[in-house]
Chain A
């Protein structure tokens, strides 16, 4: 029983040490656009990429965007480096 509780406590540490944050990357003088394009990079242990490109160009191409209004990046991580997923979102027309 004590061991199970201990393992559940470890699990709780994992849960509370994972986080999601959204940060601004860039904003232009263009109006907020009605299109959105996304590009994602996922890494394990900070070095092994599962998906490799979260650049603005890839995200803009994915949304068919030719005039960028603003760019955000969303980061999902577990224990900092164990699992990190970065998603670039480009908005524009």
Chain B
């Protein structure tokens, strides 16, 4: 097979993979409202040997949004979590740990935080890709963010999903 044909076939396969990607969120009816669950999203690490995957749960009958994240690094202890986008920011040392597990690439820590709903929605109004920062007790800061093109689509999806519930 020539290189040109191989390239065209690869593009067709890649397109099919992208077009079959699962939906960004799912909804559930609860006794007192509706739950919107945004599927896990892996952010781009701005330093080596770390990774962060996060998901969000938005409840119409709550004042806060639940953000759960799996942070994998050599660091063991988390001091603070920050979420920043443009001029909007949220930081908290009030988090809980669901579990810590040893993995090939380091220690995976499952972190849970609650962010006030208004602050959280403001984070998706900015053109600047959102950044999640994990501050360790040793003082190091690990940053994770979106690629610009992915942020544009993400903002659109999330704001649209939230608007549909209001």
- Is B145 close to A, CB under 8 A? no
| Contact flags B114-133 to A (C-beta < 8 A → 1, else 0) | 00000000000000000000
Which residue of the partner chain A has the closest CB to B110?
A62
Mask of A24-54 contacts with B, CB within 8 angstroms, 1/0: 0000000110111110100000000000000
Is the Cβ of B55 less than 8 Å from the Cβ of A38?
yes
Known A20-B22, A61-B110; contact A32-B30, beta-carbon cutoff 8 A? yes
**CB of A88 within 8 A of chain B?**
no
Task: Knowing A20-B22, A76-B20, say if A35 contacts B66 (CB, 8 Å).
Answer: yes
Specify which chain B residues have a CB less than 8 angstroms from the CB of A31 in the assembled complex.
30-31
> From B96, which residue of chain A is reached at the shortest CB distance?
A64
Given A7-B8, A7-B9, CB of A64 within 8 Å of CB of B112: yes
> Are B22 and A10 neighbours in the complex by a CB distance under 8 Å?
no
> From residue 1 to 54 of chain B, which have CB atoms closer than 8 A to chain A?
5, 8-9, 11-13, 15-17, 19-23, 26, 28-31, 35, 37, 39-40
Q: For B40, list chain A residues within 8 Å (CB).
A: 38, 40
Kindly state the separation between the CA atoms of A61 and B11 in the bound complex, as whole angstroms.
38
Q: Does B59 contact A (CB under 8 A)?
A: yes
Contact B57 A35 (CB under 8 A): yes
* Cβ–Cβ contact A89 & B26, under 8 A: yes
Size class of B's contact patch?
Answer: 35 or more
- On chain B, the residues within 8 Å of A10 by CB distance are 9, 12
Asked whether A78 lies within 8 Å of B16 as measured between CB atoms, the reply is yes
Asked if B90 is at the interface (CB within 8 A of a chain A CB), the reply is no
> What are 8 A-B contacts with C-beta separation under 8 Å?
A15-B16, A34-B59, A36-B35, A36-B55, A38-B55, A62-B98, A87-B39, A89-B37
A interface residue numbers (CB < 8 A to B): 3-4, 7-8, 10-11, 14-15, 18-20, 31-32, 34-38, 40, 61-64, 74, 76, 78, 83, 85, 87, 89, 91
